[in-house]
Amino acid sequence: MKFALTALCLSGSVACADGAITFTTDESFDDVTFGIESAIVGRGLVIDATSHIGAMLERTRADVGSDIVLFEQADVFSFCSASLSRKVMEADITNLRFCPYDIFVYTTAATPGETVVGFNEMPEGAMKEVEALLTDIVQEALGLE
């Protein structure tokens, strides 16, 4: 199994220039998505939605006049934690904008045999606790804990 933290990071920190924290693995898309689902549900959280972004983009590719295939597969899992959300919104009510929390998983034709999983970097302050939760979920799903 191969894992790598990928993204342009500032000063060797986890804060990434592009705003996303990603991990790359040679595990299959199906294995990774199963791991993400299991890690979320295993914490007593409910997945509110699974957005099949890759399928939607492929289905509508010709309709929007494109001939570029972006993903082989791409899903986004959206979920929330009542206790953590309350905590971060009590710290700053505008943290509402980050809920629900999303973890994305995708594969591309350009990098066959690699699955990328990640999430948005959260701002300093209370939201770093959400980032820690997202990191823990991804690491558990990828067997990195």
Domain ranges of the chain: 3-141
| Under 8 Å between Cβ of 82 and 50 | no
Q: Measured between alpha carbons, how far is 58 from 76 in angstroms, rounded to an integer?
A: 15
Closest of 47, 45, 4, 42 to residue 26, by C-alpha: 4
Which of the four pLDDT bands, split at 50, 70 and 90, describes residue 16? Answer: low
Task: Work out the mean pLDDT of the chain and round it to a whole number.
Answer: 89
13, pLDDT greater than 70? no
137, pLDDT greater than 60? yes
Closest of 79, 129, 123 to residue 100, by C-alpha: 79
Residue 85 has a pLDDT of: 97
Residue 145 has a pLDDT of: 72
Lookup: tokens for 34: 């199963």
Q: What pLDDT digit, counting tens, does each position of 49-83 carry? A: 999 999 999 999 999 999 999 999 999 999 999 99
1, pLDDT greater than 70? no
Please name the fold of domain 3-141.
TATA-Binding Protein (3.30.310)
Residue 109 has a pLDDT of: 86
| Under 8 Å between Cβ of 129 and 101 | no
Closest of 21, 57, 55, 49 to residue 137, by C-alpha: 21
pTM of the model: 0.87
